[in-house]
Amino acid sequence: MLHIVNLEEIQGMLLRIPDLVDLLDRRDPALFHDVKQWLSNIERVLLNNRMPAAGNVAALRGMLIAAERGVIPVGVGFHGRSTIRKIREAAVGYVLRQTGDLVSIAIEKDRERIAEAVRMTRQVVAVAKAKGLIQQVPRGDDLTNMLKALWQTLSTDADLSPGKVNVEGLVGPYDALIVLDRITTSDIPREQPILNQ
């Protein structure tokens, strides 16, 4: 189970693919190096999160290294004569597509789980606002403790407690506070007071 910060790090790496494709389109001389570096980085992030997809990314990086040496990757075809440049560019395009698909599939369940936690938290916050339990966005030097106090207040309400438990069941107590912070920041007007106890 990925934490929000880890999921966002992986998603950030996937968002680099358009830039790499732009390099391919421009036939930038740094393309091959940049793609290998990106593959190494995403592989490291997956390894740090103990995700088996890291092995698949390493294999794709190996395919790219072999293409650099003139080996035509399986499933890659050419029009006309194959040159080292064509082999390298075709391998880059293939590896980017495969890696993007592979990593997107690997994180899909975590994305859905966190999206469900966000949806539930938004409902809990909306009910808490309607009940007058939340009146302002938590902020200040001790934001974590303020969020914990708000979360605790929500757990004491019979209507809100099941939602709070479900959110923590989906993402854990630490990530539940991150979701709560983001929801209160985006959904609650800043000019109202904070916590009504």
Contact between 114 and 7 (Cβ < 8 Å): yes
**What is the C-alpha to C-alpha distance for residues 27 and 32, in angstroms, rounded to an integer?**
10
Cα of first residue to Cα of last residue in the chain, in angstroms, is: 34
| Rounded Cα distance, 7 and 175, in Å | 11
Nearest to 107 by CA among 12, 10, 39: 10
Q: What is the pLDDT along the chain (197 residues), one digit of tens a residue?
A: 899 999 999 999 999 999 999 999 999 999 999 999 999 999 999 999 999 999 999 999 999 999 988 888 777 777 778 888 888 898 999 999 999 999 999 999 999 999 999 999 999 999 998 888 877 665 666 778 888 888 888 888 899 999 999 999 999 999 999 999 999 887 665 544 444 44
Return the residue matching tokens 């303020």.
146
Query: In the Cβ-directed half-sphere of 30, how many Cα atoms lie within 13 Å?
Result: 7
pTM, whole model, 2 decimals? Answer: 0.84
